[in-house]
Amino acid sequence: MNTDKIWEVLISITIALAGGLARLLNGKDAQKFRKRQIVAELFISGFIGLMALKLSRVFGLTGDWIGLVCGIAGWTGPLFLERIMKPVGKVIGIETEDKNEQ
């Protein structure tokens, strides 16, 4: 992996972490969070940011668009993964169940 790709991954994860942290701090119960919960939320946001980077590359996005997608993905958290699972699942041959279709 070349240096540019490493930086792109690190920056994308950082933007997603910032999105997740902004969501946590924006909430009404921001002061009630425990350290363990904050670490877990940030880990989830970072993972989702990495997935958003991969998805952005699939769609041919670059630069600021990747940052935008990663930030939004970090903010929305697991909802981002739920929304992309059905279309991505179809492409890779995995049937997914949409919770809203029940």
Structure tokens at 37: 């919960």
Residues 45 and 16 sit within 8 Å (Cβ to Cβ): yes
Q: What is the pLDDT of residue 22?
A: 83
Q: Is residue 97 part of a domain?
A: no
Q: Is residue 72 part of a domain?
A: yes
Q: Is residue 91 part of a domain?
A: no
Interval 15-65: pLDDT, tens: 988 888 888 777 666 567 677 888 888 888 889 989 899 899 999 998 899
Query: Count of domains in the chain?
Result: 1
Q: Backbone phi, then psi, for 68, in 5-degree steps?
A: -60, -50
Residue at token pair 């880990």 = 43
Q: What is the pLDDT of residue 41?
A: 83
Q: Backbone phi, then psi, for 77, in 5-degree steps?
A: 65, -135
Could you list the residue range(s) of the whole structural domain that residue 21 is in? Answer: 3-77
CA distances to 51, 87, 92 from 44, rounded to whole Å, are 11, 21, 23
d(CA 62, CA 42): 24
pTM for this prediction: 0.73
